[in-house]
Chain A
Amino acid sequence: MKTILPLLKRIAYSLMLLLAVIVLNFVLVHLAPGDAVTAMVGDMGGATPELIAELRVEYGLDQNLPTQLFKYIAKMVRGDLGISFTHNLPVIDLILEHLPATILLVMTAFFMAILIGTVLGIIAAQRPNSLFNHLITVISLSGYAAPVFWTGLMLLISFSYYFPIFPSFGMETVGFRGTFLEKTFDVLKHLVLPAVTLASIYVAVYSRLARASMLDVLGSDYIRTARSKGLSEKVVVYKHALKNALLPVVTMAGLQFAQLIAGAVVVETVFSWPGIGQLAFNSILRRDQPLLLGILFLSTIMVVVTNLITDFTYRILDPRIK
């Protein structure tokens, strides 16, 4: 009961937040000039006003904004995200088709960044003035400072052109046939460059954060107590200090997840990764409002869920939060 109640409360808050985001997205998307019909007519090279009016009626764009919004939400409650104007397919099908690729990419980059960043930070904290520490600082800050698309292109040129270790685009080799294991390995090979590119921005953040937080914790009184018990340096650092030093890292991870999804749009474009990032990019160009809104809705859910997970990870790590 003690843990269920706050969980339910948080979920209720999250649902309200979700609704607010839906309304906000809807309004923002419709504030942009032009709609799907304008884009279509542009592609057709012009049309008569009658045809334009007819198309607007067909797509339900002739009604006023509040009515459209109301209808949209009413449909959404029933799990219907509408039909994409450009693909003529249900939005939900399009998203579900592209979502696994994005989740794979984002999650890999997410854990790669946290793991590598934290480990580097902890090692650096134990030798704050060593050459290794400065090396970590320089490398991770370069990754942080460089634009994602540049890092991506450089990695492409290096590891796909000069040293053709990894494939340059897509998620699978076209026409690849093999066992499940071979297919998995094929996908993993395609995953390396995009994931490293996406993670490169965040490794710096986590390594600096973990280093600072670890240094802070190592100077605290309870670490002195742990040493005075005769515990080995390993136990002192990796048990007593680490659990405390991880708290800021977890907070940061929750906050950064949203940015990671945004970063995925760029990385997916550079590496032709068939995820929702690419889908979103195209839906903006084509003014495909149902699709764009669907994607935004889904990203919101992902961010809200991550924040929930962060919250509860925090509770496990720190008994003071109850």
Chain B
Amino acid sequence: MRQEPLLQVKGLCVEFATRKGNVQVLNHLDLHLDPGEALGIVGESGCGKSMMALSIMRLIPAPPGNISAGQILLNNSDLLQLNEKQMQDVRGNEISMIFQEPMTSLNPVFSIGMQVSENIRRHQSATRAVAREKTIQMLKAVGIPVPELRIKQYPHELSGGMRQRVMIAMALSCQPSVLIADEPTTALDVTIQAQIFDLLKQIQQDMNTSIILITHDMSVIAEFADRVAVMYAGSKVEEGLVRDIIDNPHHPYTQGLIRCVPFLKKDPGTEREELNEIPGVVPDMRLIGSECSFAPRCRYVMDHCHEKKPPEVQIGKKHHAFCWYLEEGK
């Protein structure tokens, strides 16, 4: 039996108006998220992964941003067809988001309790007292000690890890079906990072929330996600189950990304191993036309890579990639 996906992104195109013309930051992106699943999105800075997240929330600053084509289906209804008022009912209620910078993502002049309960009172007809009770519950659930006291405190009185927990509590306070986490631990210490991921995992199981995790870190994906989509320059280049992608990456870019993950050895020896890198830089998004955007950095580049968009190549049941080299090798 095939399950209906909870969230589907179909052919999403996002443009940004600049002085030198429109830049396409997302190029016919397709994604889907199943209920209870953790989907990882991985890619370099500027590949459009945050733009994808903001598009789903419909929070792209417009102008200059503009969703020019595509559909975003939540339970088969298109979010792009909703008016602003209807979309506000979705945000923080059915889809929530947590951001990269816990230090600046909370409003400095309002108390923690007010900021979390505000979300509850916005979407549920709860009295002040009920919302307060729920806030304390949520803060307890994300592992904040003595929440009764914490709700009166202000963001500057909390550490970065604690603030991110508050953000998670806020995002989950209305039991959303989808949680988008945009690099939730990038600004935190490694030890705190592990705690936050443990928390997200536990929440995913307890509340049956589906999570989209956006990161540039392949090791985080390996740790956390069920399925992963690799993005490059506004397009998806490969998608599959985490095991398949890590053990058997097909797209040259994915292969490069995985080679770049350094691992610790018990005995590094005297010889230091050189860190791997993918040569070249992310292309200028303005110049991307009808070629494979990875071609200039690809070690297997062929002539028609520069001429036509690469086709989808099915590798396994849930594993596919977009590449001319793979197409030829079939």
Inside 8 A of A222's CB, which chain B residues have their CB? 104-108
Q: Which of B89, B108, B118, B170 contacts A320 (CB 8 A)?
A: B108
Instruction: Please give me the residue from chain A that is nearest to B157 by CB atom.
Output: A319
Does A227 count as interface, using CB distance less than 8 angstroms?
Answer: yes
**Cβ of B88 and Cβ of A228 under 8 Å apart?**
no
Inside 8 A of B90's CB, which chain A residues have their CB? 230
Instruction: Please give me the residue from chain B that is nearest to A243 by CB atom.
Output: B109
Q: Classify chain B's interface size.
A: 20 to 34
Does B232 count as interface, using CB distance less than 8 angstroms?
Answer: no
Enumerate A217-234 residues with CB–CB distance to B below 8 Å.
Answer: 220-222, 224-233
Inside 8 A of A232's CB, which chain B residues have their CB? 85, 88
**Cβ of B156 and Cβ of A228 under 8 Å apart?**
no
| Shortest Cβ gap from A105 to chain B (Å) | 33
With A230-B122, A231-B118 known as contacts, the answer to whether A244 contacts B92 (CB < 8 A) is: no
| Shortest Cβ gap from A218 to chain B (Å) | 10
Most chain B beta-carbon neighbours within 10 Å: one of A222, A230, A243:
A230
Does A80 count as interface, using CB distance less than 8 angstroms?
Answer: no
- Chain A interface, >50% SS class: helix
With A221-B99, A319-B154 known as contacts, the answer to whether A230 contacts B167 (CB < 8 A) is: no
| Shortest Cβ gap from A226 to chain B (Å) | 7
Enumerate B21-68 residues with CB–CB distance to A below 8 Å.
Answer: 57, 59
A-B contact count (CB 8 A): 70
Q: Which of A225, A227, A244 contacts B109 (CB 8 A)?
A: A244
**Cβ of B59 and Cβ of A227 under 8 Å apart?**
yes
**Cβ of A228 and Cβ of B92 under 8 Å apart?**
yes
Does B209 count as interface, using CB distance less than 8 angstroms?
Answer: no
Enumerate A288-322 residues with CB–CB distance to B below 8 Å.
Answer: 317-320
Cα A210 to Cα B110 with chains together (Å):
20
Instruction: Please give me the residue from chain A that is nearest to B156 by CB atom.
Output: A320
Q: Which of B57, B105, B108 contacts A244 (CB 8 A)?
A: B108
What 0/1 readout, one digit per residue, does chain B (205-236) give for beta carbons within 8 Å of chain A? 00000000000000000000000000000000
Enumerate B167-223 residues with CB–CB distance to A below 8 Å.
Answer: 167, 170-171
With A244-B108, A244-B109 known as contacts, the answer to whether A224 contacts B99 (CB < 8 A) is: yes
Cα A109 to Cα B110 with chains together (Å):
31
Does A240 count as interface, using CB distance less than 8 angstroms?
Answer: yes
Instruction: Please give me the residue from chain B that is nearest to A218 by CB atom.
Output: B61
Instruction: Please give me the residue from chain B that is nearest to A318 by CB atom.
Output: B109
Does B93 count as interface, using CB distance less than 8 angstroms?
Answer: yes
With A230-B123, A319-B156 known as contacts, the answer to whether A225 contacts B89 (CB < 8 A) is: no
**Cβ of A230 and Cβ of B109 under 8 Å apart?**
no
Cα A115 to Cα B84 with chains together (Å):
30
Inside 8 A of B106's CB, which chain A residues have their CB? 222, 225
Does B101 count as interface, using CB distance less than 8 angstroms?
Answer: yes
With A319-B154, A319-B156, A320-B156 known as contacts, the answer to whether A228 contacts B108 (CB < 8 A) is: no
Instruction: Please give me the residue from chain B that is nearest to A231 by CB atom.
Output: B122
Does B306 count as interface, using CB distance less than 8 angstroms?
Answer: no
Most chain B beta-carbon neighbours within 10 Å: one of A224, A225, A228, A240:
A228
Which residues of B pack against A, CB within 8 Å?
57, 59, 84-85, 87-93, 96-97, 99, 101, 104-111, 118-119, 122-123, 154, 156, 167, 170-171
In the complex, 19 of the A-B residue pairs with CB atoms within 8 angstroms, ordered by the A residue number, are A220-B104, A221-B105, A222-B105, A222-B106, A222-B108, A225-B107, A226-B107, A228-B57, A228-B92, A229-B92, A230-B93, A230-B119, A231-B88, A232-B88, A233-B84, A318-B108, A318-B109, A319-B109, A319-B154
Shortest beta-carbon contacts, A-B, top 5: A230-B91, A229-B92, A230-B92, A221-B104, A319-B154
Which residues of A pack against B, CB within 8 Å?
220-222, 224-233, 240, 243-244, 317-320
